[in-house]
Amino acid sequence: KLTAGKIAVAGTTEQLTGFDDGVAFNYNMAAGATSVSVAFDEKVTGPAVGLNIQPMDAAASYGWPETLKSVKITSIVFVARAGAIYPAAGASKPTPKPTVAPEFESSEFKYDGLDQNWIDKNIDPEKPVVALSFDDGPGGYTGFVDNGMKIQKALTAAGAHATFFYIGAHIEHDEDSRNEVLAAKEAGFEVANHSYDSNGLNSVGPEVIKEKIAKTDALLSEITGYKHFLFRAPNVAYSQAMYAVIEKPFIDVSIWSQDYQDKTTKDDLVNNVINNLKDGGIINMHSVHDKTAEAVPEILEQCKDKGYQVVSVSELFAIKGKKLMTGVKYNNAE
């Protein structure tokens, strides 16, 4: 039984495809229950033309569950707020207000370590390019530091780059993890923020969100000397509160290796990447898995055979001439 999900209210017909394109809410349903109430409070104003409803497993905060066969929603009931007053026909409409007012004005992001000279010397802009990204490192804290370093060595040997989204708690009290982050920076790879821990930020308030992002930024800055880092959400799950307070580009995924699934073998994840290559795409992998470290050299070789150049996320957008803006989500550089 699916016990959780997301519901989005869309304001225009063009905003019905993704939950973050409208006003989004998460919900949880008690075991055995047949209905759930979602409180919109005062977050919804102005016209709404449709709903986007996504059920999911409580343990999986992104995507449709693999086991899902069908979903049957028997009814949706809208209940007005107590004391709500509606304007008479022909009356002027109130000006819609933003659902969650951002605490910053969106601006262009540039990674401190972006090396345009490396791009100019090594990348042919006429050939296809993909960004390779790794989550959940560094591995010293969890005993998998060797995998992260194996991946770095494979990238260097292939003349490729990648972005590593690091978890702050893995860095804070572990020297091996700190050394892994420093090695990535010195090798020319991009260092990025994956929050302080693996707990989702989409179900907590703005103060908790800001604290975890700032703490991880501080740890990464202490090691690299940089101040600006891309962000990928834990479990790739988002909320309006996150968009309001995280002053970074949100990096999503367009090519999933699925290495996080126990059933995925090394050959499976190689095929998952290679069979879905697309110019401007962003590949997701996890640097803490043995099978991932084993697969990376083969993935890099096959990318080269197919004419693809492998770079970091910031390099991908620079090569494609696309700006990265704070508070905006990206899953490709098309």
CATH topology of domain 108-330: TIM Barrel (3.20.20)
Bridge partner list, 191? 164
Helix %, strand %, coil % of the chain (to 5): 30, 15, 50
* Average pLDDT for runs of 10 along the chain of length 334: 61 43 59 65 54 59 56 64 52 45 90 98 98 93 79 98 97 93 98 97 96 98 98 95 97 96 96 98 96 98 99 99 96 94
pLDDT at 97: 40
pLDDT at 14: 44
Q: Which two tokens stand for residue 191?
A: 């260092």
pLDDT at 143: 62
CA pair distance 163, 321, nearest whole angstrom: 18
pLDDT at 92: 46
Domain boundaries, the chain: 1-99, 108-330
- Tell me the backbone φ, ψ of residue 125, rounded to 5 degrees: -65, -15
Q: Could you tell me if residue 184 is left (phi over 0), alpha (psi between -120 and 50 degrees) or otherwise beta? A: alpha
Helix (H) or strand (E) holding 325: strand 324-325
CA pair distance 118, 132, nearest whole angstrom: 16
The answer to whether the predicted template modeling score (pTM) of the entire model surpasses 0.75 is no
CA distance readout (Å), 208 to 195, 204, 219, 231, 248: 11, 6, 17, 16, 16
**Buried/exposed 214-248: b ≥16 CB within 10 Å, e otherwise:** ebbbebbeebbeeebbbbbbbbbbbbbbbbbbbbb
